Amino acid sequence: MSDLLYSEIETDLRAGVRELLDDKAPWNDVLAGTERDEPLDAALWQSLTDMGVTALPVPEDRGGAGATWRETAVVAEEIGRAVAPVPFLTGAVLGVAALLAADDRELLESGRAAVLAVPFTTDPHAAFTPTVRAGDGTLTGAVTSVADGSAADVLLVPAADGLYAVEAADAARAPVVSLDMTRRLCDVTFDGVPARRVAEGDAALRTALLTGAAILASEQLGLAERCLESTVAYVKTRYQFGRPVGSYQALKHRLADLWTSVTQARAVARHAASCAATGDPDLPVAVAVAQAHCSAVAVRAAEECVQMHGGIGFTWEHPAHLYLKRAKSAALALGAPDRHRAALATLVDLPPAP
Amino acid sequence: MSTAPPDAAALRRRVEEFLAEHDPAAMEPLEFLRARFDAGLAWVHYPEGLGGLGAPRHLQPEVDRAFAGAGAPSNQPERNGIGLGMAAPTILAFGTEEQKRRFLRPLWTGEEVWCQLFSEPGAGSDLAALGTRAVRDGDHWIVNGQKVWTSMAHEARWAILVTRTDPDVPKHRGMTYFVCDMTAPGVEVRPLRQITGEAEFNEVFLTDVRVPDEHRLGEVGQGWRVSTATLMNERVAIGGQAVPREGGMIGVVAELWRERPELRTPGLHDEVLRLWVEAEAARLTGRRLRQQLTAGQPGPEGSAAKLAFADLNQRISGLELELLGEEGLRYDDWTMRRPAEVDFTRRSPGYRYLRAKGNSIEGGTSEILRNIIAERVLGLPGEIRVDKDVPWKDLPK
């Protein structure tokens, strides 16, 4: 039975990561970064790498920390709280999961950011149709909406016969003006780019997508929690009609409901991370439940955050919009809730209408 | 009591020794239960001499399993939920030594069933507004009033009772808590028929009932403090049991969906999947809550669990009727009955739909729970109170 609590080590890890993010990624810096050309905060990413949290589940003899996806999920919560503009989900989760499944020693040991070149909306439960052809050690084709593609050192590209690694700089990467500018997309074109096959078949891709969706739930949890906290703090101090707006039941009851949903999000996100960590056969169901639930909770938390802040929450100079954009993009990422519910129909035998 | 409380291994030994000396097959059930109580193996976290050994509370399930495995008789906790879950911890916390010795043993063995005389027609969510009067008469109190929503009143030997003893002070200050003899003259119990057709609950009319002062729990005027302790225990009791996936009402609907393809529509499919996800999320949340309790980190998530459970039950049971279509228009039986316990799965879908409506009212309405979460967990400002400093007798009623 999965352990849904946080260990002492995980609690310490969280404190360390939060301290770093509070120091190096305050929201006004994150906001300013969204208007710059650089697709990531490279200095922050380097600090996280130096801390060892970008290769947590990588065995020590492969240059990693020898931890598991459970600890990785705790870091993801903190990344979500800070809407940090670093390729954590894409590089330290999806990329690392693919390389671990492929057991690609060379790339794991290199510590370079390897990012999966698939549309960010890719459904981890459905069959994947490659849009890139492999031949003679090269790749040709195009992939749209690759998250953190511009921040990547290496792209991991699914083709019909397996997963290929290419130097990111060798591909043509066109930045996309993204809804979430803290995790930007790009459209990638491969025109006979030299490539090395790191895994045969689609098992590595499958594992990476499922693991990524499992850990994304923790990122969504962290974001939801931050939105709830900042909203609760705000409604205690905002006075209208001579009393704090947080004394009105119209707001109190919605916040109580949101808190209830966040406590549930914690349980399902921990279950999904735990299943990923132990290779539990329940992983596909755990992921479907976690994504269907946490996507909705994160979006609701961010939407309530905007609404309950009133006018200030609708302005550019308040962080609420950063959370809203991250939350809505994350809900569409790696299978929207509807896709995960559709997957459950098969996984738990609740077939559709004839 | 100089020895340290027993650990899991010591408890196991004690149970083995007890069973070696007391053969459940050879003893009268009541005799066995009394002996188990006297050995401190009834509720192990209670003090020695009162059915326990001062052991950690989380060791209780293993003790219960060991007794059940040996074929020991049950004290039928399902028949005495109010007694075990609410009256006992209140008596333990506020009772005199004599009250503890008199009441706890027959309560635990099930010889004496308990009920709760709290809610009144005019005091539901606002329990402290209650108006049942207790007036002192020498070493007795004379009680007059009406109580409602009393389950098991028709079988109970004793009740926990809250009364108004001083109407001239603000409501929270003028209350006193008693143990009431349900067989005393002037206690009249009438079934309260509910929307399902049956009567789980009762109305209890109290007319010149004489309650001895030695049956008072806590000081005169301290009734609100004692009641609050009782109600806290009610919420702990609602915390919930471990359930397998698809345990509870979602399992009923999932089975129906699988077995009756002709009932399926695309819109209902989406609803079934949404509720399945929510039920699984609620189940995992319950699991996490129990892990927190076992690890000694109790959190406020219990009130969230009750809120979510009520909402989920209502939506699932509503969906079941829609799914059934024409069959959903039929009901199994409107006959007035007095069920000993509530069982959602043994009755018809219509019953489930109607009974679930009570889930967001009983044991704290969902609206009150939201206030509690907002104020005690999130620290939001309390409601503006117009009744705080007004004597009870001057409150609008």
The pLDDT value given to residue B1: 45
pLDDT at A237 over 80: yes
The arrangement of secondary structure in A204-347, i.e. its CATH architecture, is: Up-down Bundle (1.20)
Across chain B, the runs of DSSP E, i.e. the strands, are 114-117, 133-137, 140-148, 158-164, 175-181, 187-192, 201-212, 216-217
Q: Which two tokens stand for residue B335?
A: 């006959």
Tell if the CB–CB gap between B281 and A293 is shorter than 8 Å: yes
**Chain B partners of A247 at a C-beta cutoff of 8 Å?**
380-384
Nearest CA in chain A to B375: A252
The string of pLDDT tens digits covering residues A178-231 is 999 999 999 999 999 999 999 999 999 999 999 999 999 999 999 999 999 999
The angle, 0 to 180 degrees and rounded to 10, between the axes of the packed helices B301-324 and B349-356 is 150
Q: How is chain A split into domains, by residue range?
A: 8-112, 116-201, 204-347
Tell if the CB–CB gap between B258 and A349 is shorter than 8 Å: yes
Q: Is 1.20.140 the CATH classification of the domain at B239-363?
A: yes
Q: How confident is the model at residue A333 (pLDDT cuts 50, 70, 90)?
A: very high
A289 reaches B (C-beta below 8 A): yes
The pLDDT value given to residue B270: 97
User: Position A276: which residue type?
Assistant: A
Confirm if A116 and A208 have CB atoms less than 8 A apart. Answer: yes
A49 reaches B (C-beta below 8 A): no
Query: What's the gap in Å between the CA of A9 and the closest CA on chain B?
Result: 16
**Chain A partners of B295 at a C-beta cutoff of 8 Å?**
5
This prediction's pTM:
0.92
What is the interface size between A and B, counted as CB pairs within 8 Å? 132
**Chain A partners of B288 at a C-beta cutoff of 8 Å?**
4-5, 266-267, 270
**Chain B partners of A253 at a C-beta cutoff of 8 Å?**
367, 370-371, 374
Tell if the CB–CB gap between B291 and A4 is shorter than 8 Å: yes
A342 reaches B (C-beta below 8 A): yes
A7 reaches B (C-beta below 8 A): no
> Distance (Å, rounded) from C-alpha A123 to C-alpha A47?
31
Please list the rounded mean pLDDT of every run of 10 residues in chain B (397 residues). 78 96 95 97 96 91 93 93 94 97 98 97 94 98 97 95 98 97 98 95 97 98 92 59 89 97 97 98 92 78 88 97 96 91 83 96 92 95 90 94
Q: Which two tokens stand for residue B382?
A: 């309390």
- Residue span(s) of chain B under CATH 2.40.110.10 come to 114-235
Tell if the CB–CB gap between A236 and B264 is shorter than 8 Å: no
Q: How many CB atoms lie within 10 A of CB B340?
A: 13
ipTM for the predicted complex: 0.95
Do the domains A8-112 and A204-347 sit in the same CATH topology, yes or no? no
Closest Cβ–Cβ partner in A253, A348, A353 for B266: A353
Q: How many CB atoms lie within 10 A of CB B350?
A: 22
B285 reaches A (C-beta below 8 A): yes
The pLDDT value given to residue B230: 83
Tell if the CB–CB gap between A247 and B285 is shorter than 8 Å: no
- 3-class SS shares of chain B: helix, strand, coil, % to 5: 50, 15, 35
Closest Cβ–Cβ partner in A246, A251, A344 for B276: A344
The pLDDT value given to residue B238: 45
Provide mean pLDDT across the span A33-59: 96
Query: What's the gap in Å between the CA of A333 and the closest CA on chain B?
Result: 19
A354 reaches B (C-beta below 8 A): yes
Residues of B numbered 318-377 whose beta carbons fall under 8 angstroms of chain A's beta carbons: which are they? Answer: 367, 369-371, 373-375, 377
**Chain B partners of A235 at a C-beta cutoff of 8 Å?**
380
**Chain A partners of B269 at a C-beta cutoff of 8 Å?**
345, 350, 352-353
> Distance (Å, rounded) from C-alpha B255 to C-alpha B120?
41
A112 reaches B (C-beta below 8 A): no
Query: What's the gap in Å between the CA of B369 and the closest CA on chain A?
Result: 9
Provide mean pLDDT across the span A270-292: 98
**Chain A partners of B274 at a C-beta cutoff of 8 Å?**
292, 341
Closest Cβ–Cβ partner in B268, B288, B374 for A4: B288
Rounding to the nearest 10 degrees, give the CA dihedral for residues B35, B41, B44, B49: 30
Name the CATH superfamily housing domain A8-112. Answer: Acyl-CoA dehydrogenase/oxidase, N-terminal domain (1.10.540.10)
Query: What's the gap in Å between the CA of A5 and the closest CA on chain B?
Result: 7
Q: Is 3.10.20.30 the CATH classification of the domain at B114-235?
A: no
Could you identify the residue written with the tokens 């039986």?
Answer: B333
Tell if the CB–CB gap between A353 and B268 is shorter than 8 Å: yes
Query: What's the gap in Å between the CA of B182 and the closest CA on chain A?
Result: 39
The pLDDT value given to residue B384: 86
**Chain B partners of A256 at a C-beta cutoff of 8 Å?**
307, 369-371, 373-374, 377-378
B295 reaches A (C-beta below 8 A): yes
Cα B190 to the chain's mean position, in Å?
21
Average pLDDT, chain A: 97
Nearest CA in chain B to A248: B383
Cα B77 to the chain's mean position, in Å?
11
Q: Pick the residue with more confidence: A1 or A155?
A: A155
Q: Whose CA is closest to A288, among A340, A222, A219, A333?
A: A340
The pLDDT value given to residue B234: 61
Return the residue in A11, A225, A251, A264 with the most chain B beta carbons within 10 A, the one to mutate for interface testing: A264
The arrangement of secondary structure in A116-201, i.e. its CATH architecture, is: Beta Barrel (2.40)
The string of pLDDT tens digits covering residues A66-92 is 999 999 999 999 999 999 999 999 999
Could you identify the residue written with the tokens 């406590």?
Answer: A263
**Chain B partners of A270 at a C-beta cutoff of 8 Å?**
288
The pLDDT value given to residue B295: 80
Burial B65-75 (b: 16+ CB within 10 A, else e): ebbeeeebbeb
Task: Please list the active-site residues of B.
Answer: 234
The pLDDT value given to residue B385: 87
> Distance (Å, rounded) from C-alpha B145 to C-alpha B204?
9
Residues of B numbered 153-192 whose beta carbons fall under 8 angstroms of chain A's beta carbons: which are they? Answer: none
The pLDDT value given to residue B237: 47
Torsion over CA: A250, A251, A254, A260 (sign): negative
The pLDDT value given to residue A3: 93
The pLDDT value given to residue B3: 67
A253 reaches B (C-beta below 8 A): yes
Tell if the CB–CB gap between A236 and B383 is shorter than 8 Å: no
B2 reaches A (C-beta below 8 A): no
Separation in Å, CA B123 to CA B118, B132, B163, B357: 9, 10, 12, 20
**Chain B partners of A258 at a C-beta cutoff of 8 Å?**
none
Please name the residues in contact with A29: beta carbons below 8 A apart, sequence gap of 6 or more: A41
